[in-house]
Amino acid sequence: MKTPLRALLSLAAIGVTALPAAAQIGNPSVSSTSAVQNVFCEKNLRSTVTRVSKTVLPSGYGDLKDVQLNSDFRYPSNDLPFSQAMAMNDPVTGQSVAVLDQNFIPGGSKVFSSWGRYGITIGGYWFYRTGGGFSTPIGTFIPFEADILWISDGSSFLVVKGCNGRFSVTKEVAEALRNYPSGKNGYIRFSTEGTGSAVLSEIGKETVTAWKKVYANWTPEAPPKVESLGF
């Protein structure tokens, strides 16, 4: 009984090794036995493609300004309003609603955060001053990206793990931010890549108020298009 099964497995193995000729495109140096999954990457790194649907905004955001994100890295737009909910139109990922916040010491360290419906970004830079007295003071800016975020949620708190300064928004995270008491400043705690300490940072009260719009309870639903309604 075992022999036919073994024969079948070895046949399958032959099939697999015989196949990858087509997968060699762009990576001729990799042997045909190991490159089935890797078309472009060496060292057995797995290359993947993930398809994600673009997001759309439901009705109910008629009062928000729309920002078309069309300034690429060469011409960064620094004029987006802070602490105000906005509808963001990203040419790559689709529509979202978000509020931007910043917390800084003038001429010093800065924490920048973006609170989007589907993702949160926290980053900034620390400012260190050395020297002074009899020597020339030297200021150094060290950029950082947060990787763990603490959010207060009533009698408990959420620990959200992310990477490269980015965090996914789950239903639980959205609920905690939506229910944050408005009318006063909020607080978050975060730690940055490579450090164990968690920094406390203040969030402006307008941003806290805007969380109620950004994380409002709705199920994803594409609103009807004007052109379809009008024709």
The DSSP H or E segment spanning 205 is helix 205-214
Burial bucket for residue 86 (CB in 10 Å: 0-12, 13-18, 19+): buried
Total interface residues for other proteins by CB under 8 A: 26
Question: Between 36 and 216, whose beta carbon lies closer to other proteins?
Answer: 216
DSSP one-letter string for 3-19: HHHHHHHHHHHHHHHHS
**Least spacing, CB of residue 67 vs other proteins, in Å:** 5
Question: Between 1 and 226, whose beta carbon lies closer to other proteins?
Answer: 226
Task: List residues bridging with 123 in a β-sheet.
Answer: 112, 145
Question: Between 32 and 59, whose beta carbon lies closer to other proteins?
Answer: 59
**221 scored as a contact of other proteins (CB under 8 A):** no
**Least spacing, CB of residue 138 vs other proteins, in Å:** 32
Question: Between 33 and 227, whose beta carbon lies closer to other proteins?
Answer: 227
Phi and psi based region of residue 214 (left: phi greater than 0; alpha: psi -120 to 50; beta: remaining):
alpha
| Nearest alpha carbon to residue 139 among 148, 130, 151 | 130
Q: Which of residues 28-87 bind other proteins (CB under 8 A)?
A: 57, 59, 61-71, 75, 77, 79-80
Phi, psi of 95 (to 5 degrees): -90, 145
**Least spacing, CB of residue 84 vs other proteins, in Å:** 10
**Least spacing, CB of residue 57 vs other proteins, in Å:** 8
Angle between helix 171-178 and 205-214 (nearest 10): 130
Question: Between 17 and 70, whose beta carbon lies closer to other proteins?
Answer: 70
Question: Which positions touch other proteins (CB under 8 A)?
Answer: 57, 59, 61-71, 75, 77, 79-80, 223-231
